[in-house]
Every structure is written in C-alpha cells, then in structure tokens.
C-alpha cells in the first residue's frame, strides 16, 4: 500500500445549461474545464440569437447613460478583463476573436448636436471616465472620411470591439474541447424542480437529470416552464434591427468604432461594416422594416457619406434580453441548484468575461463575487411576489 497522502477529490456537479449563447457556452466551458459533466441545450443553433446579432462593442464608457451609474463598475471591470479573456479563449479554441483596440469616436452630426454631445461628455467626465473632447477637424484627422458637417467629437481610447460571431464560434469550440456536450435544435420543455431543488430538465419528453441547472436563455429566459415566480428572471425582448455593408478589406473607410445620433458603425477586419441598431419594444416581432433600415442608413450616411456606394451584405433582427432595470441578472435563485445568467440588455458581449467567471465560480464552489452581488434576482423579489398574485410580468 502506498504511503502517499490521500487527496480527496471534490465531486464536481453535473450541470444542464438552458441556452447556448455566450453565457451558456462560456459558463459551460469553464465548468467543463473544471471537470463537471456539462450538457448545453439550445432550441436552435448555439449562439445564433442575441450573441450573433450583436455588434461586439466593448463600450463601457460611451454607452453609459444617466441612471446606469450602478452598472458602470461592473462594465468597467469586465472591460478590463477582456484582453486576457480573449487571449485565453483564443488559446483554448484555436480561433481568433479579432479583438480591436483602435478606440471609439462619438461625433456630433451637425452644430446643433454638439450641445447634446457636450452634455454627455460632461456627464462621462463627472464619472471620471477617460474621454477626450475633439473639434470636427481633429476628429477628421483620426477618421478622414467623416462628413464635413461633423462639428465635434469625443474620443474614448479605452472602448474597444471584438467580433462577436467569432466569439460565439470560439466559445463553442472551447466548450467542446473541454469535454462539454452540445444539444442543438433541442428545445427544453421545462426545468424539473422538486421540493425547492433543481433536479434537471425535461427535454423531448425525457428527464435529463443534473445536480445544477443554469438558465441562460437570453430573452426567452422568462418563458421556460416549471420555474416558480420568484426564480423566473423578469426579462423581455428588446428588438434591434441591424445591417452590414461590405468595404474593400484592403482599403477600409474607417478603423474606429463610430457613434453618431441614432447610429453606431463598427468596422471588421474582413471589411464588414456593421450599422446598428434600432431599440424597439415589439416583443419577438422579427420583421425588418423599411423605416428601421432607412433610419439606420440615413443616420450613418450623415456622418459617413462614403457608405453611399458600399454594397449591402446582410440585414437582421436581434432580441436583447432586457430586465426592468437594464442590468443583468446573475447567480443563485430561491430554487436550490438553479442559477441564472441573463438580462444583459445592451452589454452582453462586454459583460461576457465577468459573467462567465463569476457565475462559474459560484456554481463550482458557492463563491459569490462582490461585484455581482447587487445583480442577483433577489432585487426583484418584492415586485415579483406582488405580480405573482396577479399573474402578470408587467
């Protein structure tokens, strides 16, 4: 018999994940890499909803609006994690994410817009954010194709971008390489909860047992059966119409992420130029509309007239998973073993590193990172108990 000390291996939980987007695949990757048996279920192809529809902006600074101050620290923390996270995921998957750090430029399309831009700039400065005021001429030296009418701009060197579709593919690959099992085109019927404890999921009429269940179904997270009201993440779809144009990759017309009134424009290395996005309370209405696409093109053309000749590549609709306070819902629920990661609103790609690390840490050993404590489902408890009796989501 060996005299070596016995090393007690902690038994890793088995995990069923509902939703194969950035959250589901990413948390699944971490858990599988730590030795858990992980099954991810997606009603379609993994990562083809909000994760695929996004533009990949990592814009903690310029996207912060009044009222979102409580979210800023979380966004900045995740943004700081991004470069190391990208390198780690690229190594784990063998795929590139096309992380780009040229920075983000917010412009005033006309003289009238400059006053509003100045207000936003002062607001961001009051939050101690590192942003720089530029004249129109200074902005055109950075991006020469900006319209002559652009009268002022703000440069945020710390706001970057990543190719979110590459991110999805890389997370999928890393998850599979770590030993995870992916069930695509497999809709989950319900979460199986007995005696206040998650026991697994019901899928295609069968029971799939698991020690823990992660609910990460984006805008669909409210609609999974079997979950009591207090554990149902109150998220709704917030529709966004988007399109992309095709630049000549060897002669791109811009390098920075660009924001103007009613528009953002994101250049990719392959010449794709993404234009987004409408923000519409239309439920799961997936229609592209003439008005939506027209307004995006018009707003883009006003600040970057060179788009006029570019061919249209693709048009699509995505559904942001949005909670009542526009902040994510992360971590434990009142049901033992049922964990949530959803409600990322406009910040799903930005918050990916922190969400993935924090939620997987909780699922592995119960550690609840301080930074996600304010973003638990319990913050909706009172309101949910009230609405549970009326049966409405509000």
**Which residues are near ligand GLY by CB under 6 A?**
55, 57, 240, 276-277, 320, 346
Geometric angle at alpha carbon 27, from 23 and 28, rounded to 5°: 110
| Comparison of 175 and 264: residue with beta carbon closer to ligand GLY | 264
Put the strands of the sheet holding 235-246 in their side by side order.
Answer: 132-135, 152-156, 104-108, 257-260, 263-267, 272-276, 235-246, 312-323
- Least Å from the CB of residue 177 to ligand GLY: 29
Query: Of 64, 91, 90, 94, whose CA–CA distance to 350 is shortest?
Result: 64
- Burial (0-12, 13-18, 19+ Cβ within 10 Å), 300: buried
| Comparison of 220 and 264: residue with beta carbon closer to ligand GLY | 264
Q: What CA–CA distances, in Å, run from 301 to 55, 87, 138, 228, 286?
A: 18, 35, 20, 48, 25
- Least Å from the CB of residue 243 to ligand GLY: 13
> By beta-carbon distance, which residue lies closest to ligand GLY?
346
Q: What is the distance between the alpha carbons of residues 261 and 300, in angstroms, rounded to a whole number?
A: 9
Q: What is the DSSP string of 308-329?
A: GGPPEEEEEEEEEEEETTSS-E
| Comparison of 322 and 384: residue with beta carbon closer to ligand GLY | 322
- Least Å from the CB of residue 239 to ligand GLY: 10
| Comparison of 27 and 50: residue with beta carbon closer to ligand GLY | 50
- Least Å from the CB of residue 59 to ligand GLY: 7
| Comparison of 180 and 321: residue with beta carbon closer to ligand GLY | 321
| Comparison of 232 and 320: residue with beta carbon closer to ligand GLY | 320
- Least Å from the CB of residue 313 to ligand GLY: 18
- Least Å from the CB of residue 55 to ligand GLY: 6
Q: What is the distance between the alpha carbons of residues 123 and 72, in angstroms, rounded to a whole number?
A: 13
- Taking a C-beta distance cutoff of 8 angstroms, is the pair 154, 116 a contact? no
Q: What is the distance between the alpha carbons of residues 151 and 117, in angstroms, rounded to a whole number?
A: 10
- Least Å from the CB of residue 378 to ligand GLY: 26
| Comparison of 51 and 93: residue with beta carbon closer to ligand GLY | 51
Q: Burial code of 100-115, b = ≥16 C-beta within 10 A, e = fewer? A: bebbbbbbbbeeebbe
Query: In residues, how long is the chain?
Result: 394
């Amino acid at each position: 018999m060996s005299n070596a000390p016995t090393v007690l291996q902690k038994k890793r939980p088995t995990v069923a994940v509902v939703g194969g987007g950035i959250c589901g695949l990413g948390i699944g990757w971490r858990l599988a890499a730590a030795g858990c048996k992980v099954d991810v279920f997606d009603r379609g192809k993994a990562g083809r909803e909000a994760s695929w529809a996004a533009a990949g902006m990592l814009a903690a600074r310029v996207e912060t609006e009044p009222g979102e101050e409580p979210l800023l620290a979380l966004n900045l923390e995740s943004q700081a994690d991004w470069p190391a996270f990208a390198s780690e995921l690229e190594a784990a998957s063998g795929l590139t994410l096309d992380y780009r750090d040229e920075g983000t430029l917010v412009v005033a399309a006309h003289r009238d817009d400059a006053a509003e831009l100045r207000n936003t700039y002062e607001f961001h400065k009051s939050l101690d954010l590192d942003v720089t005021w530029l004249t129109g001429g200074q902005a055109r030296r950075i991006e020469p194709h900006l319209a002559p009418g652009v009268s002022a701009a703000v440069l945020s060197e710390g706001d970057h971008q990543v190719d979110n579709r590459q991110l999805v593919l890389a997370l999928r690959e890393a998850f599979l390489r770590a030993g995870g099992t992916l069930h695509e085109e497999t809709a989950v019927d319900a979460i199986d909860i007995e005696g206040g404890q998650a026991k697994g999921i019901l899928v295609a009429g069968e029971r799939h047992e698991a020690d823990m269940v992660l609910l990460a179904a984006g805008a669909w997270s409210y609609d999974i059966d079997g979950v009591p009201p207090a554990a149902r993440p109150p998220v709704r779809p917030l529709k966004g119409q988007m399109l992309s144009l095709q630049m000549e990759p060897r002669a791109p017309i811009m390098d920075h992420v660009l924001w103007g009134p009613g528009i953002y424009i994101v250049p990719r290395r392959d010449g794709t130029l993404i234009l987004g996005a409408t923000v519409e309370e239309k439920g799961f209405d997936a229609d592209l509309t003439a008005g939506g696409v027209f307004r995006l093109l018009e707003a883009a053309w006003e600040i970057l007239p060179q788009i006029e000749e570019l061919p249209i590549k693709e048009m699509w609709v995505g559904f942001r998973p949005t909670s009542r306070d526009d902040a994510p819902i992360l971590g434990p629920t009142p049901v033992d073993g049922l964990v949530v990661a959803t409600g990322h609103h406009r910040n799903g790609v930005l918050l990916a590193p922190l969400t993935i690390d924090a939620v997987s840490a909780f699922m592995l050993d119960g550690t609840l990172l301080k930074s996600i404590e304010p973003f638990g489902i319990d913050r909706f408890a009172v309101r949910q108990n009230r609405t549970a009796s009326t049966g409405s989501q509000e």
